[in-house]
Homo-oligomer: A and B are copies of this chain.
Amino acid sequence: MANHSEQTCRTVDEGVTRVFQLFGKRWTGLIVATLIPGPAYFADLRRAIPGISERMLSDRLTELGTAGLLLREVDAGPPLRVAYRLTEAGKALEPALMELGRWAAEHLRNNGPCQGEL
């Protein structure tokens, strides 16, 4: 393997590291992608993301709120319901998500292990 010595001290971009501290957890990316078109109620999110538990969804929404990607809005109702809306920072992920979607359409199609649970 050529040029090995120069790679010994390779490090990853700090931004990329932080992105994957956030998105390297199950469901986080899908929650953001689901909210890109506009705000949604908790129940809508659960329906849109098959397999997520109420507890998991709640935990991930809290994390995304703490990271500044979404806001929680109480709709007084009745019935009282809570909606989740992306902040400007959250919405700014759209180009990256579209790029990832394009990549998947081209490179993950018909790729066995990616169609089910990894």
- Residue in B20, B39, B117 whose CB lies within 8 Å of A23: B20
Whether B100 and A96, one on each chain, are in contact in the complex, defined by CB atoms closer than 8 angstroms, is yes
Contact with B along A82-104 (1 / 0, CB 8 A): 01000001001101110111111
Residue ID in chain B nearest A97 by CB atoms: B16
A75 interface residue, CB < 8 Å from B? yes
CB contacts (< 8 Å) of A14 on chain B: these are 104
Q: Which residue on B lies nearest to A113, using beta carbons?
A: B66
Name A's B-contacting residues (CB within 8 A).
1, 3-4, 7-30, 33-34, 37-41, 44, 47-49, 63, 66-68, 73, 75, 83, 89, 92-93, 95-97, 99-108, 111-115, 117-118
